[in-house]
Amino acid sequence: MKKMSKKVLLFVGLCCLLQSLKAQDSTENAVPEKSHWEAGLSYLNNSVYLGRKDTLKVPYLTPSISYYNKSGFYFSSSLSYLNSGGESRIDLFEMTAGYLFTINKFEGDISIAKDFYNTQSKNVKSETKGYTNISLSYDFGFIKPSLQGGVTFSNKDDYNAGFSLEHSFYAFDDNLEIDPSFLINASTQNYYGSYYTKRRYSGKRKKQTGPGTIINGYLPNAAEFKIMDYEWSAPVNYSLGKFLFNFTPTLAMPVNPNIVVLTITPPSGISTTKTRTEKLSNVFFWSAGVTYSF
C-alpha cells in the first residue's frame, strides 16, 4: 500500500510539473451545447474488468449509436462482435441511458444499462444483467479527482466504488488531448463467482480435463467488498472536424486474489475437492476507435 501511495504522489507531482507545457483547465462542458447523434466503431484487444479476465482473449469489435440531448440526457446502444480462437459471434448487446450535468467545475454522470451476453460468452462479466452508476468529479485545474459508485445486477447484485485522478494536456490548437489517469477500483465479486460456477468450466472446457470428467468451481468469499485493482491509463483523443479518433492504453494491476474451490468428478463418480488461490498478474490492454457526430 505504501508503494501505491508513492505512485499516487508521483502522479500528482508529475501533473504539476507538466503545467509548464501546454496544459490548461478543462473548458468543455459535460453537457453538450446542442443535441446531436454519434456513430462510433471501436476495437478492444481484450476484455478486462477490475483486473480480471478469462484465460482466453476476448477481443471485441463494437459499432455503436448514441444520442445526446442538450438538456444532459443521453442514450446509446452497441453490439460487441467476437472473432477469436475460431469463435465468431455477437457476444454482447448493451443499451445505456443516462444524464450528464455540469455546475461550474463540478461534473456528474448518472447512468443505467442493460446487458445481453451470448450464452457461450467467456467474458468474466457474462453473468451480469446490467448496472447503474453515478460518477462525480471536480476540476481543480492542476488535477481532476473523481468518485464513482454503482450496483451491478446479476443473480446476486454487486456493489462497486472507484476513485481516480486525472489531468488533461492539449496540443495542435486543442485538437489533441492526452488525459493520463490513475484509478483504484473496489467491488464485491458475486458476478465473478457466477462466472466461475456457470462459465469457467462449462461446455467445451470440460473436455480439457479428460472425457467424462466434470469440474465445478466457486468462490466462497465472493460477497466480500475489497480493492480489486489499480489502473494506469492515458487516453489520447484527436478531433478532426466531426470525427473524433481515440486510443486508450491501460495497465491493470489486480490485487487480493480469490480463494477458488474446485470439485472434480471423474467418470467413476467419486468426487474430490481442491482449494487453490487465484493466480493474478498485471495485464496490459488497449482500445482504439473513431466517432462521427451529426
Q: Dihedral of the CA atoms 213, 121, 60, 285 (nearest 10)?
A: -50
| 197 secondary structure, DSSP code | I
Q: Are 176 and 184 in contact (CB under 8 A)?
A: no
Which residues does 224 contact at the CB level (< 8 Å), separation at least 6? 188, 189
Which residues does 50 contact at the CB level (< 8 Å), separation at least 6? 160, 185, 187, 228, 229, 252, 254
Mean pLDDT of the 17-29 span: 47
In CATH, what number is assigned to the domain containing residue 126? 2.40.160.40
Give the pTM.
0.86
Could you tell me what percent of the chain has a pLDDT over 70?
86
Dump pLDDT digits (tens) for 199-227: 887 655 554 555 667 778 889 999 999 99
Dump pLDDT digits (tens) for 248-272: 999 999 999 999 998 888 777 787 8
Which pLDDT band, with edges at 50, 70 and 90, does 20 fall under? Answer: very low
Q: Which amino acid is at 240?
A: L
Domain encompassing residue 31: 2-293
φ, ψ dihedrals at 144, nearest 5° = -130, 100
Q: Is the pLDDT of residue 247 over 90?
A: yes
Angle at alpha carbon of residue 177, lines to 66 and 240, rounded to 5°: 60
Decide: residue 104, CB within 10 A, 0-12 exposed, 13-18 middle, 19+ buried.
Answer: exposed
Average pLDDT, the chain: 88
Dump pLDDT digits (tens) for 45-59: 999 999 999 989 999
Q: How many domains does the chain have?
A: 1
